[in-house]
Every structure is written in structure tokens, then in C-alpha cells.
Amino acid sequence: MPELPEVEIVARHLGALIKVRTFIRAQLRRPNLALANPPRQFAAWLKGARVDEVGRRGKHLLIHLDNGRTLITHLRMTGRFLYVDGQERAIPHTQAPAENLWERTHPCVPVFVRQIITGDRARYKRALPGLHTHALFWLDNGQKLLFTDQRHFGMMMIVRSEELENSAPLGKLAPEPFSADFSDEFFYHSLRRSRRPIKQVLLDQTKVAGLGNIYAVEALHRARINPRRPAHRLSLARAAALRREIIAVLNEAIAAGSTLKADPRDLESRYVGGAYEESWRVYDREGQPCFTCQTPTRRFRQGARSTYYCPRCQRS
DNA sequence: ACTAAAGCCTGGCTGC
DNA sequence: TGCAGCCAGGCTTTAG
């Protein structure tokens, strides 16, 4: 799923495609996607707006406009942008799209990790324009940007740019992991306030911005910390080590292109995506030997999701 | 102030 | 083979 590295890669590629472009029209097809903005207002704020910059805050994608507003998008699980040929005609939700539509789709965002691993072509099809398109953006170069979201978890919101940092989605986020504000002291004192297991605290966006299940699990393994350890019982030294590994794993994932994939049939081959899942050391490796000590990796449920760890390397 | 759990949502997969 | 039910998972809301 898109965590910080995936969103960072999306922001970079989306930026390359739409920066300096102007939205000549926009349509919010599913009002629930942007609950805070009435559909007509959503469309009106985007019409005629030029994209100054595409950025990211935590897992939120930010499209900064030249009219003093910013479009915030959270991809959640299955949200993705497709950049398509403007000639492509809209397809009813219920109608299966023509095969060649995908051929003309320029993927600026791709696909959930498992879809790649299995290489399941049927799943690719579900990302096709028309199937789960909840918002459309017409660009001044004749191209079109679609937002699709199979599971309807995604969120969009247009806010005044000056209020961005205090907006509902971003207001309570922890500092960016790569910023100076995300210091050992900040992290250590954040952890001191929670008695919950460290793994669950890492998923709390007010403690660390941008970590999801995969990178939280990976960072704990690299720092040799047991995911069940109460957060407030980490020493300053171990908290510092964990902070270091969080930053390292995020940096490495970004450098590798994250886990996002583009359509392999992309004609221009401008973006082939990353393969960071090949670098996972514990995630999705239940029963397989730990890379460090060969002990079989374990999985258990924490909160509502899977935690993977090495019982030997991560004893405490 | 903190914590746990339900709910949102679809579709692949498992097991009867 | 059919189908109910589990699972994936970020985040908000609700209840404790």
C-alpha cells in the first residue's frame, strides 16, 4: 500500500506530468471522495488553476495551485492517478473497459504490491479508467488525469494553501521524518507518552509521519526491537537507533523507486517503477529464515494487522 | 490523555 | 462447484 516512499515516488512522477499545466475542467464523480468540498465548488476551485508544484506531507499528496489553494489527496489503499489520452471517452461504471484503453494509459501511479508479485493481469484491469474513477481532471495539453479508487478509502480535500499545515488532514501530523524537527529528542519524548506496543505507536501519524505496516515492521527489525515492547520502555539510545533505521529504510525505499509499479507495457518506458519489496527483510516472510540469524520469521496480529519479526534478533 | 475496537470498502482467497 | 466469511489495511470515530 502506499506509504511515504510510494507517495513520494507518485508525487515526483505526477509532478513531472502535470507541473505548470492548467486544469481546464474537473469533475468530482463521487462526492464522498471530497466530503469537505461540495462537488460544484470542488470543480470551480480547480477550473483554470495552474499546478505550481506537486509535493507530499506524510502519506498525503499535495498539488499546489496558483490560485492560493492546494488539493490534498490521500491514496489510502487503492487510490491511484492515471494519466490518459484525452481522446479516451468516459465509460460507464458498470461497463467493462476496452482492452486498448489500458494501452493508452500512462501510469503515473500503479499498483498495490501484491498485484505485482502475483502478476495477476485481471487485477491490472481493475485499475483501468472507467471502472472506479471518482474524479476527472482535464488538462490544457489535451490529456486527462483520472483518480481511481477501487475501495473508496481515498480522500481529497481542497484547502487554502496558507491554512495547509493547520488543515484537518495535516494539522496533527508528526514532523517529516527527514526534517530536523524529527529529532531523537522529539521521537524519544513522543514514545515516552505511550504505553502501547512500539509497533502500533509507529503507525500513529502523530508520532511518525508516513510509516505504514510494512516500513514499521522493517524499521523495527533493522533496529532489533521487539514489536511488542511498550513504547515508553525504550531507552533514549534505542529510540535513537530506531529513528535512524526509520529514516534509513524510507530513504532506501525511495532510492529504489519504492514498491510501486507501472504498467510493463508502457510504450514510452518512462517509468518502470521500483522493486523495493525484494529488499524486505521480514515483512511477508512468515516461516522463512531471518536474513541475519536464519531463525524462522514469525507473524502475529497486532491491532487489526500483521506484524512480522524475528524472535531471536528482536528479543526485547 | 491515553487506548482499544469498530467501521469504512471491494474483491481475492480459503475452507466447508 | 458454490458460497459464506476472512483478510488486506490507513485512518476516523466511538466508547471506555
Q: Choosing from A172, A305, A311, A315, which is the catalytic residue? A: A305
* Residue with cell string 516472510: A285
Question: Rounded distance, CA A5 to CA A7, Å?
Answer: 5
Whether the beta carbon of A149 falls within 7 A of nucleic chain C: the reply is no
- Say what the pTM is: 0.86
**Confidence at residue A267, expressed as pLDDT on a 0 to 100 scale:** 32
The tens-digit pLDDT sequence of chain A (316 residues) is 688 988 888 888 888 889 999 999 999 988 888 988 988 999 999 999 999 999 999 999 999 999 999 999 998 887 888 777 655 444 333 333 333 333 333 333 433 222 222 233 444 444 444 567 889 899 998 888 888 887 788 899 999 999 999 888 998 899 999 999 999 999 999 999 898 899 999 999 999 999 998 899 999 999 999 999 999 999 999 999 999 999 999 999 999 888 776 543 333 334 556 778 778 899 888 888 999 999 998 888 888 888 999 999 999 9
> Residue A65 corresponds to which cell in the numbers above?
495551485
Question: Rounded distance, CA A282 to CA A9, Å?
Answer: 23
On strand C, nucleotides with any atom < 7 Å from a protein CB are 7-12
**Whose C1' is closest to the CA of A201: which nucleotide?**
B3
**Confidence at residue A2, expressed as pLDDT on a 0 to 100 scale:** 82
Query: Of A172, A80, A84, which Cα lies nearest the Cα of A126?
Result: A80
> Residue A70 corresponds to which cell in the numbers above?
492546494
**Confidence at residue A131, expressed as pLDDT on a 0 to 100 scale:** 60
Distance, CA of A156 to C1' of C9, in Å: 19
Exposure on the CB side of residue A238, measured as CA atoms within 13 A = 19
A278 catalytic residue (yes or no): no
**Confidence at residue A273, expressed as pLDDT on a 0 to 100 scale:** 63
Burial call A222-243: b when 16+ CB within 10 Å, e when fewer: bbbbbbebebeebeeebbbbbb
Question: Rounded distance, CA A246 to CA A145, Å?
Answer: 33
Q: Choosing from A56, A59, A69, A144, which is the catalytic residue? A: A59
**Confidence at residue A85, expressed as pLDDT on a 0 to 100 scale:** 61
Distance (Å) of CA A225 to CA A152, A304, A311? 35, 20, 10
For chain A, report the end-to-end CA distance as a whole number of angstroms: 28
